[in-house]
Amino acid sequence: MTLKSNCNYMQNRELSWLRFNHRVLEEASCPTIPLLERLNFVNIFTTNLDEFFMVRVGSLTDYMAYAPDYVDNKTGMTAEDQLDAIFQACAPLYQERDRTYAAVMGQLEKNGLTALRMEELSREEQKDVEKYFNASILPVLSPQIIDPRHPFPHLNNKQLTVAATLEQKDHRLLGLIPLPPMIQRLYFLPGEQRRFLLAEDIIRFYAEKVFQIYKVSHAAVICVTRNADLDTDAGFFDEDLDYRQYMSNMLKKRRRLTPVRLEIQGALADESMKFLCQKLKLASRQVFHSQTPLDLSFWSQLPKVLSPTQHQELVQPSFVPGASPAFSGRGSITEQLQNQGDVLLSFPFESMQPFLQLIRESAFDPDVISIKITLYRIARQSKLAEYLISAAENGKEVTVLMELRARFDEQNNIEWANQLEEAGCRVIYGMDGFKVHSKICLITRREQGQVRYITQIGTGNYNEKTAKLYTDYSYLTRDPVIGADAAAFFANMGLGNLEGIYQKLWVAPASFKSNILAGIDEQIRLCQQGLPGSLTFKCNSVTDKDIIQKLREASQAGVHIRMLVRGICCLLPGVPGETENIHIRSLVGQFLEHSRVYCFGEGENCRLYISSGDLMTRNTERRVEIACPILPEHLRRQILSMLCTMFRDDVKARILQPDGTYALPPQGETPLCAQEHFISHLPRFAPSQSLHSGENSPKSHKGLLGLFRRKTK
């Protein structure tokens, strides 16, 4: 019998994530978004769900097999309970994706871009496609029948495969045709209209030509999703093991792990379905039928075939980050930091270029002694990595703490680690059981005979590509105490010391969580003394039970709590007697909300930190994360102003309800989309008002507090 929790202010993380992904899918129905961008949101929803099955469903499947006593500590659900709930919740999501995809493609057809099935073509068109099939597709196919002499093959993770029910005389067989990766996915029909077919549909239609001596009674496109939740720490400290080689071997293993889902587009005979499930060891609940193509990555090829007029109507204009108002655009970034003090860059509204220029300058600056940096995810074509290589070649001491276990970026990180090491950089890796997820860079200089530091601390990765797509903060400071903390951090990482002591930085797993809990306790004490207490948090996910319970305690004490949580949120707000003083919103927009901000108190007593870490147990206890205080008042005002605007968003925001669902906020006379506001106002967004400019000021933190006090009464 499953032990259920009586806790009515917490929800299961997996179901909360599925609700987040549903909000992603909702963006595909937004009429103000260009149609190809709406198609991309369907694609993002699909790839998100793929990763969810590979990782989360994969890990729960492992729990069922190897940890039968496991229960979710927030809801009391067993692994089997959670899987049942996940499969039940996913079925309607597939149906909604089908409706959304059909609606978007219907609108695209009206705009001259049409996806067709082979059955919709004229006989003459089918003959033209058949010539293409015979010349370009058929020669590279590797079909196989399944019988005693042809055993069931390994189906690669997420590889599209045409499955066919074959008939010969008095018996039936299953035939499989994997889609070769070198085949062009799209085939465009001749003519002015942009009409196209998918390669898998062409193969499905001509399956009888492939299997020759067999009659095809049914054919469908299938796709297997496999468990990709590998234990990347096993053997980490084997002295005879090269860790990069170990990770390479683990990536090969990922392609062969246990199936957790079967997707089908089309129809197969019942016996073929049963046979597939038997061979893949999948239950019927793990089979999902789809009218939508199982891989939507082809959307990115469509803008290339549009006319200029179509492109203007169907594609989101390319967003170009603005120049930071903190830098003149001329002269040395290093000198400008020396002259004007700390700077906060806000991605993607401001460019990452000043930071990249700083690293490039440092690579050639004779006063620079060393550059040390943590790398979790970087671009495949990375200017940053090239500048670090230049620095090493110029005799600088360059230390790179490279995390090889960044999920699905492992191969890219392995390749860059090799190149950096070959160039003379000192490359070290994370520690057993603790991914290094922190974003910190330390430049050590010798100025007038003394050691000086420039420290950069961010909320997001050093990736030139995602810096144009994700919202993040990048803090550049010459604060000597933060610089000394950063130097101590890299020294501790080199020694494998997770218990380092720091003056200003909070570093997980030793002090990040404890300081957040202490900050919440401080606000509770203020309320107990009859003074106002407030907390303003922005993060991607909330799952840490200790922090959830402490936030509930704060709410009961009268602390006013406002949270922006993009994704998973196991904390339920507004539950009577439990979380009545907690208000939680989610934002899903053009850019991925990725920055983390933790603000304790208000007014001149406000303490504000930016961080690489979320309020998830994996971040607070099992990763190396950093939170850094923002001390200059004008930079705190900048962040608080942006938070205030996000809390006022009534276009893209959704309000989390006590039952775990999300509702649209009441819309004002002039609707406000926060990200569009930042695009139109940056780099002029930094407010000149004081932090205490009045209850009615929408740009003040006090105004922010008042806004949600009124709503939670």
The set of catalytic residues is 437
Q: Which positions ≥6 away from 401 have C-beta within 8 Å?
A: 372, 373, 374, 375, 428, 429, 430, 436, 490, 493
Residues 130 and 141: their CA atoms lie apart, in Å, by: 15
Q: Is the N-terminal amide bond of 92 cis, ω within 30° of 0?
A: no
Inter-residue contact 526 to 532 (CB < 8 Å): yes
Inter-residue contact 462 to 341 (CB < 8 Å): no
Say how many Å lie between the first and final Cα of the chain, rounded: 41
Rg (CA), the chain: 27
Residues 352 and 347: their CA atoms lie apart, in Å, by: 7
Residues 460 and 613: their CA atoms lie apart, in Å, by: 10
Biggest distance spanned by C-alpha atoms of the chain: 91
Q: How many angstroms separate the Cα of 177 from the Cα of each of 138, 182, 203, 557?
A: 10, 14, 8, 63
Q: Distance from CA of residue 349 to its chain's centroid?
A: 19
Which CB contacts under 8 angstroms, 24+ apart, belong to 1-5? 2/71, 2/76, 2/77, 2/78, 2/81, 3/71, 3/76, 4/75, 4/76, 4/77, 5/74, 5/75, 5/76
Residues 201 and 198: their CA atoms lie apart, in Å, by: 5
Grouping H, G, I as helix, E, B as strand and the rest as coil, residue 226 is strand
Any alpha helices (H) in 111-227, and if so which ranges?
A: 123-132, 199-205, 207-211
Instruction: Single out the residue of 144, 149, 184, 173 nearest to residue 161, CA to CA.
Output: 144
Main-chain dihedrals φ then ψ at residue 459, nearest 5 degrees: -100, -10
Instruction: Single out the residue of 596, 542, 595 nearest to residue 568, CA to CA.
Output: 542
Q: What would the DSSP string read from start to end of 656-699? A: EPTTS-EEPPPP-SS---HHHHHHHHTTS----S-TTS-TT-TT
Residues 615 and 618: their CA atoms lie apart, in Å, by: 9
Q: Distance from CA of residue 380 to its chain's centroid?
A: 17
Q: How many angstroms separate the Cα of 13 from the Cα of each of 266, 425, 559, 570?
A: 32, 40, 25, 6
Residues 604 and 161: their CA atoms lie apart, in Å, by: 62
Block residue for tokens 């910190």: 440
Relative orientation angle of helices 35-52 and 79-110, to the nearest 10 degrees: 160
Residues 302 and 220: their CA atoms lie apart, in Å, by: 24
Q: How many angstroms separate the Cα of 9 from the Cα of each of 513, 552, 603, 658?
A: 21, 8, 30, 8
